[in-house]
Structures are given as C-alpha cells and as structure tokens.
Amino acid sequence: MKVALLGGSFNPPHVGHLMAASYVHATQGVDAVWLMPTFHHPFGKQLEPFEARVRMCEALCRETSGWLQTSRVERELGGGGRTVDTLAFLVERYPDTRFSLIIGSDILRDLPNWKDFDRIQRMARVLVLYRAGYPAPDTVGPPLAEVSSTQVRDQLARGLEPSELVPSAVLAVAREEGLFGLRGR
C-alpha cells in the first residue's frame, strides 16, 4: 500500500487542497491520500476547533471516489505537532505501507524551522508541489491553483461567499458549525 500524506491546518480546506491531492493520486502511483489536519500547530497558528476542521476535511474527501481520507492521527498523538513525530508513528503503525509526504512549494521557506527534516526524508518520499506564485527548483508538476485558506477567510470576513474556492459541502459544514464568524449569518 502506498499512501501520500497531506498535512495542513485546513482552516478551511479549499479547492487547492483537492487539486493537490488529486494531482498526486493521478500521477504519483499512490493508492490513497490522507489529509492530516494539525491538532497543535507547531508554530502556534490559531485555528478553528480540530473536530470542525476534520468535518470539513471529510466533506472535501466525499468529492472523491474514496481514495482521499482524513486522519485524526495528530489528535491521537497530541504533542507538539511536528511532522517527523507523526511520520515516525505512522511508519511504525503501518509497517507494510510506503509513505510520501506532500508539501506545497510555499512551505520550502519554512523548512529550516521544521524539526528533523532530514529524518522525514529518510522515512518518506517528499513531493514538493508547485503552488502557484511560489516557483522553486525541483517541484513536481504544473502550477496548482492560486487559492489559500487565508483568502477564503478574508472573503468570509467581508461577508462574501467563497463558493468558487471552497466545495459547497465544505462551506455547508462551516456554516453548520458557525466557523469563521458564520454563526447566525
């Protein structure tokens, strides 16, 4: 079994995440892609509650035929939310699975602040996707969608409906849960 992991804040998930996951599933010979929402963000980002982000990720996953799944592993682990620790745990739990780790090229500038990135590279194949606006050497594939959770949150804060950036089922969960100031709107 070959699994690609896409870790993220998913605050909220958007079509860029779906495109990134689809691209990897379609071209990189993996059986499944797991979304791994952050429980405690290592750099202290303030996020909507974990279970609400999981629900939105699960709604995103339903846009696929089943190869995209959401993992609660980072909640199970607690701790500092460092990817190397999550990966070490998964490698031990699933000895017959080969893991890849997907990151967007915007992350490259943060990597010096990641814990043990060398060890991550020994445990998993790292796939750096070309996120539109962030060209870098050694990325895989064409530039992917110019969309971010920040842009989605900005639209929501201005009372706009980001229906072109977020799958409608994800927006429905955000509304039901009253996330991003949507309570009572």
Ligand X SMILES: Nc1ncnc2c1ncn2[C@@H]1O[C@H](COP(=O)(O)OP(=O)(O)OP(=O)(O)O)[C@@H](O)[C@H]1O
Q: Which does 77 bind (CB under 5 to 8 A by kind): ligand NCN, ligand X, none?
A: none
8 Å CB contact between 47 and 9: yes
Stretch binding ligand X (CB under 6 A), from 57-65, 110-118, 146-154, 164-172? 146-154
Tokens representing 115 are: 């814990």
Q: Which C-beta is closer to ligand X: that of 65 or that of 150?
A: 150
Does position 126 bind ligand X by CB under 6 A? Answer: no
**Tokens matching residue 34:** 């797991």
Residues in contact with ligand NCN by the rule CB under 6 A? 7-9, 36, 38, 42-43, 81-84, 107, 110, 114-115
Edge to edge, what strands does the sheet with 140-144 contain? 68-70, 32-37, 2-8, 98-104, 125-131, 140-144
Residue 140 — φ and ψ, nearest 5°? Answer: -105, 130
CB closest to ligand X, residue no:
104
Site for ligand X in 3-62 (CB under 6 A): 6, 8-11, 16-17, 20
* Cα angle 149, 122, 143; round to 5: 35
CB of 4 to ligand NCN, least distance (A): 13
Is the CB of residue 8 less than 8 Å from the CB of residue 35? Answer: yes
Residue nearest to ligand NCN (CB): 7
Binder among 58, 148, 155, 169 for ligand X (CB under 6 A) = 148
Whether the CB-CB separation of 66 and 28 falls below 8 Å is answered with no
Residue pointed to by tokens 């990897």: 24
58 is written with which tokens? 């699960």
Pattern of binders to ligand X over 100-119, x per CB under 6 A?
A: ---xx-xx------------
Binding positions for ligand X, rule: CB under 6 A: 6, 8-11, 16-17, 20, 103-104, 106-107, 129, 131, 144-145, 147-150
